[in-house]
Amino acid sequence: MKQLLVFVLFASLFCWLAFSPVYKHVLLIRQALLRQEVDYLLEIGASGTYGYIDERMVAESRERLSRHGFQPAQLEYVIGSTSGEPADDPAAPLPRGVGLLLEIRYPYERLMDIDRLIGLTPPGPEARISASGMKMSEYVP
């Protein structure tokens, strides 16, 4: 009887201890996948062949990430350049020396909601995990 009482009292703590590491792990892996994707897109986009990141590359990237469990529609891509020119136009690639900027954002998708069990407030719906980077374009006309 006493043991049952203890279990009921600490049930939420037990649940949190047992399951929250899994959620944290998913979050870490998602962050790592976003970093890897940013890295890959920058490597391709800033190479001598392209000098831009266009919609086709973004669509392919969404497809790649969706294979790892991301919702493709919720991925946000921010593409820019140090010179202020648009960096997603295949007709006007960034010339060599200009930095190509990329940021990918994704919502937390209630991964932190399990922290409510121990009284922590999870990040709001507008909060995002993100990865970003800037690489110098190598495109020479």
Partner 1 sequence: MDKLLFGVLLTVIWWMLHALQLDEERAMGMLYEAKRAVNRAAHAAAQQVDRDKLEMGILSVDPERARETAALYLRVNLRLDDDFRPLPHSPLREPPTVRVLDIINEDTVFPYTYDNPEYDCRVTLHRPGVVLVVRVPFPRLFGVLGPVVWDVKGVAELVHD
Tell me the site size for partner 1, rule CB under 8 A: 22
DSSP string, the chain: -HHHHHHHHTHHHHHHHHHHHHHHHHHHHHHHHHHHHHHHHHHHHTSTT-SS--HHHHHHHHHHHHTTT--GGG-EEEEEETTSS-S--TTSPPPTTPEEEEEEEEE-TTTTGGGGGGTPPPP-TT-EEEEEEEEE-----
Kindly state whether residue 101 participates in binding partner 1, applying the rule CB under 8 A: yes
Kindly state whether residue 136 participates in binding partner 1, applying the rule CB under 8 A: yes
Kindly state whether residue 28 participates in binding partner 1, applying the rule CB under 8 A: yes
Return the structure tokens found at 3: 């043991």
Exactly one of 31, 44, 95, 122 binds partner 1 (CB under 8 A); that residue is 31
Exactly one of 44, 112, 117, 134 binds partner 1 (CB under 8 A); that residue is 134
Determine the interface stretch with partner 1 among 27-35, 60-68, 87-95, 109-117 (rule: CB under 8 A). Answer: 27-35
Exactly one of 23, 35, 89, 122 binds partner 1 (CB under 8 A); that residue is 35
Kindly state whether residue 17 participates in binding partner 1, applying the rule CB under 8 A: yes
Q: Which residues bind partner 1 (CB under 8 A)?
A: 6, 13, 17, 21, 24-25, 28, 31-32, 35, 39, 82, 96-97, 99, 101, 130, 132-136
